Amino acid sequence: GAVVSQHPSWVICKSGTSVKIECRSLDFQATTMFWYRQFPKQSLMLMATSNEGSKATYEQGVEKDKFLINHASLTLSTLTVTSAHPEDSSFYICSARTDENTEAFFGQGTRLTVV
Amino acid sequence: QKEVEQDPGPLSVPEGAIVSLNCTYSNSAFQYFMWYRQYSRKGPELLMYTYSSGNKEDGRFTAQVDKSSKYISLFIRDSQPSDSATYLCAMRGGATNKLIFGTGTLLAVQP
């Protein structure tokens, strides 16, 4: 399958700081990328969908100003958690697909801990 | 009612057993059905992808979709300890075409 690389794998940051997570499609061009959040022993919850060159579409209840998403190229999307707080601690996972007729492939996830 | 229901388990089986994992769903617009395997602290890995009803086999894995019953299954034959993971069903279709996940079933294959 196609490869999606997510970086960093884990990060610890202080409350009030911002953290950037990168998602790269290594061997294909990703028209669409998705960002998910997963709490322990729970399923993946879609946070937002981003199309290259367009503004991201956020799911209901997800704060746009807190979770900034940029999809500037066909191989890179970034999620920035701004002014992070302990309740933002979670496992964040991205996925990417070529078009709506193909399946999305997932990155390895980023574990964020805010202290 | 959740759009996708999946028994969270945990499910513990001896090595070599046949494992049956299932999901039910309520949205008749779903057309694409997937099974993902997720190891602890890792992203989901696509195992099986099926369009509409029918069976699909890949090695030790068989996926079944019964759209009339809104029921999908994943069978694992000759299960191995390395199969121990959380298995997530997922599906999409309809106007939004968003990928909706089940809660995942934690499987432990005992050597």
Q: Per-residue pLDDT tens for B27-60?
A: 999 999 999 999 988 999 999 999 888 899 999 9
Looking at residues B74-93, what average pLDDT do you find?
Answer: 96
Q: Which residue from B53, B57, B56, B55 is spatially nearest to B69, judged by alpha carbons?
A: B53
Q: Tokens 């008749």 map to which residue? A: B28
CA distance B18 to B80: 10
Handedness of CA A88, B91, A77, A56 (dihedral sign): negative
The residue of A31, A43, A99, A105 whose CB has the most chain B CBs within 10 angstroms, and thus the best one to mutate to test that interface, is A43
Cβ contact, residue pair A43, B103, below 8 Å:
yes
Which residues of chain A have a CB within 8 Å of the CB of B2? Answer: none
Q: Do the Cβ atoms of B97 and B83 come closer than 8 Å?
A: no
Return mean pLDDT, chain B. Answer: 93
CA distance B21 to A75: 34
Q: Which residue from B106, B108, B99, B107 is spatially nearest to B4, judged by alpha carbons?
A: B99
pLDDT band at B77 (very low <50, low <70, confident <90, very high): very high
pLDDT-above-70 percentage for chain A: 99
pLDDT of residue B7: 85
Q: Do the Cβ atoms of A97 and A104 come closer than 8 Å?
A: yes
Core vs surface per residue B68-78: b (16+ CB within 10 A) or e: eebebbbbbee
Which residues of chain B have a CB within 8 Å of the CB of A109? Answer: 41-43
DSSP state letter for B29: T
pLDDT of residue B63 exceeding 90, the answer is yes
Straight-line distance from the first to the last Cα atom of chain B, in angstroms, rounded to the nearest whole number: 37
pLDDT of residue A1: 63
Stretch 31-70 of chain A: residues touching chain B, C-beta under 8 Å: 34, 41-44, 46, 49
Burial class (CB in 10 A: 0-12, 13-18, 19+), B11: middle
Cβ contact, residue pair A106, B49, below 8 Å:
no
Which residues of chain B have a CB within 8 Å of the CB of A112? Answer: none
Q: SS3 for B55-75, per residue?
A: EEEECCEEEEEECCCCEEEEE
Closest Cα in chain A to B44: A106
Cβ contact, residue pair B88, A42, below 8 Å:
no
Give the closest-approach CA distance of B36 to chain A in angstroms: 10
Q: Tokens 């933002």 map to which residue? A: A88
Give the closest-approach CA distance of B10 to chain A in angstroms: 11
Handedness of CA A29, A2, A8, A65 (dihedral sign): positive
Give the closest-approach CA distance of B22 to chain A in angstroms: 15
pLDDT-above-90 percentage for chain B: 80
